[in-house]
Structure 1
Amino acid sequence: MSTHTDSSDNLLGCDFSSSPTRQKPIVLALGQQRSGRVQLSRLVRLDSLADWADWLRQPRDWVGGFDLPFGLPRELVQSLGWPTDWAACIHHYAGLSRAEIREQFAAFCNARPVGGKFAHRATDGPAGSSPSMKWVNPPVAYMLHAGVPLLLQAGVQLPGLWQPPQDAGSTRVALEAYPGLLARELIGHRSYKSDDRAKQTPERLIARKDLITALENGQTRLGLRLKLTHAQRDALVDDARGDSLDAVLCLVQAAWAQRAHEAGQPRYGLPAQMDPLEGWIVTAPASP
């Protein structure tokens, strides 16, 4: 698929896969926002990590929401004796194989009591997100392992975590997003997607339609309305896997962050007390 982008598209949402394929690609939702309206311009599908890395390196300005964790729980990092500086921790983590990650994380969990196997980040509670150390269902630990090093190699800013050492000639800002946070706000805990064809039910189809309608009507605390063409709306409804819709949810979260930045909020609206090792999911309420 062509990766040409309109120069006015300065927002992106990314539904990420740690092992993308033609059948299960990385999906980018590109667009812009004006006066509280988020316009979806196009969807781009990338079926390899190399294609995604190439896209990230292109010199253009954008603020992006990425559906993958940017950090590990401080409790886990300290227990394993890894560096507690974020960049040093990511460098160490990137040097491990997936088998080594699974072995070390499983050993950590096995030493802990039932009901408290995983360590959590401070953002997990407010966001309702899975622990970033999970290696199955969903394998977010592998998503961090595959994605964050490529963001760093592309020279992208990660507010509160990482500032590139030199000006790359463009402002590319990556924020950790989580589509489930916004989806639950709009349709509760109803399921709207499944990779399993047998579970792509009429109920999930209706949930997707309701979710899209709520986004278009601006029924969120983010103060944003999604603008779609009829063809775009049909495409989001018809994607039973939900990858395109998840990318659009991340796009809306990125638009909120862009507005926060334009309003003078530091770190694109991330809370001042965020842990500089763990990171924070954009739009998740700050912990008390």
Structure 2
Amino acid sequence: MTTMQLAGIDFTSRPTKRKPVTVALGELQHGVVRLTRLDLHERFEALSQWLHTPGPWLAACDFPFGLPRELVQALGWPAEWRPLMQHYTSLSREEIRDTFAAFCDARPAGAKFAHRACDVPAGSSPSMKWVNPPVAYMMHAGVPLLLDAGVHLPGLHAGDPLRVAVEGYPGLLARELIARRSYKSDDKAKQTPDRLIARKDLVEALEQGRSRLGVRLRLSHAQRDALVADASGDALDAVLCLMQAAWASTQPGHGMPADADPLEGWVVTAVSTGPGARG
């Protein structure tokens, strides 16, 4: 029997040599995830090439797969996922920013953004957010790569059943293991000893399997040192997504809740609180 390859993808909307897309690859056996390697993709073409590789594989991607239904309805955009994504990705980033900014400007303070049902249980940023972090742009760049590769997106889009992508979010697992301690920064001035210690603690918790996911991480000494040394946290975020992919690979429907909104999507491993739950 072919072993399923697992991947955790730490995404960026503008990959460069300094800030590439980081892909953690591994395998799950008997509840243990063995990290096989970390790939760095400086261009989307390289990531696309990997997405076209034959399965079986399952990847957890750190970017949103859907927009809030409330937002879509207010804008009069298509109410089915594939036509919605075709419309959304046809827009420029400037058009997206202006449209979303106008939507937010018309709403009261404290409720500027529309949210997906998964945002509260996942603790994730609204998928319409275009700054800090620019997840709306990440979705704009990432979803076309998945569609072009013919990948299966559970609950959203039928594709190759041997190549599956789910929406991951490393912050969800990190908070379970080290609470709200900060463990990363792209700003060198903020790459502090406290964040270094937090990364060490996070790696140790992953190796000991201290999360509700029921899987633990196996690393070589060199891999452990590399994850701790990466002050940007990109490598560690990719590994956190890898662990979420491992969990999803063992779940019915790849971990997609039965009541997940087929327009909005869902962050894998977030606990559903029932139909229509929103914050």
TM-score range, shorter chain: over 0.9
Task: Tell me the residue number matched to 1:66.
Answer: 61
In structure 2, how many angstroms separate the alpha carbons of the residues matched to 1:128 and 1:12? 22
**Structure 1 gap segments, 5+ residues each:** 1-6
Task: Tell me the residue number matched to 2:266.
Answer: 280
Structure 1 residue 8: Cα displacement: 5.1
Q: How many pairs align?
A: 273
Structure 1 residue 60: Cα displacement: 2.9
For the Cα contact (< 8 Å) 2:177–2:205, is it kept in 1? yes
Task: Tell me the residue number matched to 1:24.
Answer: 19
Task: Tell me the residue number matched to 1:186.
Answer: 177
For the Cα contact (< 8 Å) 1:37–1:226, is it kept in 2? yes
Letter in 2 for 1:36: G
Structure 1 residue 215: Cα displacement: 0.4
CA deviation map 1:91-146 (0-9, x unaligned): 00010000000000000000000000000000000000000000000000000000
Q: Note the 1:9-20 alignment, pairs <5 A.
A: 10-20=5-15
Question: Among residues 172, 177, 192, which one is paired with 2:168 in the alignment?
Answer: 177
Query: Does structure 1 residue 254 correspond to structure 2 residue 240?
Result: no
Structure 1 residue 9: Cα displacement: 6.2
Letter in 2 for 1:234: D
Secondary structure at the residue paired with 1:259?
coil
In structure 2, how many angstroms separate the alpha carbons of the residues matched to 1:284 and 1:43? 25
Task: Tell me the residue number matched to 2:105.
Answer: 110
Q: Note the 1:188-227 alignment, pairs <5 A.
A: 188-227=179-218
Query: Does structure 1 residue 163 correspond to structure 2 residue 123?
Result: no
Secondary structure at the residue paired with 1:279?
coil
Secondary structure at the residue paired with 1:171?
strand
For the Cα contact (< 8 Å) 2:60–2:241, is it kept in 1? yes
Letter in 1 for 2:268: V
In structure 2, how many angstroms separate the alpha carbons of the residues matched to 1:127 and 1:33? 24
Structure 1 residue 52: Cα displacement: 1.1
CA deviation map 1:187-241 (0-9, x unaligned): 0000000000000000000000000000000100011110000000000000000
In structure 2, how many angstroms separate the alpha carbons of the residues matched to 1:11 and 1:54? 16
Q: Note the 1:29-40 alignment, pairs <5 A.
A: 29-40=24-35
In structure 1, how many angstroms separate the alpha carbons of the residues matched to 2:224 and 2:60? 20
**Structure 2 gap segments, 5+ residues each:** 275-279
TM-score, scaled to structure 2: 0.96
Deviates further, 198-207 or 55-64: 55-64
Query: Does structure 1 residue 131 correspond to structure 2 residue 122?
Result: no
In structure 2, how many angstroms separate the alpha carbons of the residues matched to 1:255 and 1:211? 17
The verdict on how the C-alpha distance between 1:9 and 1:42 changes in structure 2, with shifts beyond 3 A counting, is: farther
In structure 1, how many angstroms separate the alpha carbons of the residues matched to 2:50 and 2:33? 22
The verdict on how the C-alpha distance between 1:47 and 1:9 changes in structure 2, with shifts beyond 3 A counting, is: farther
Query: Does structure 1 residue 235 correspond to structure 2 residue 226?
Result: yes
TM-score, scaled to structure 1: 0.93
For the Cα contact (< 8 Å) 1:9–1:41, is it kept in 2? no
Letter in 2 for 1:282: V
Taking only the aligned residue pairs, the percentage that are identical comes to 64
Structure 1 residue 279: Cα displacement: 0.2
In structure 2, how many angstroms separate the alpha carbons of the residues matched to 1:270 and 1:93? 23
For the Cα contact (< 8 Å) 1:17–1:143, is it kept in 2? yes
For the Cα contact (< 8 Å) 2:15–2:43, is it kept in 1? yes
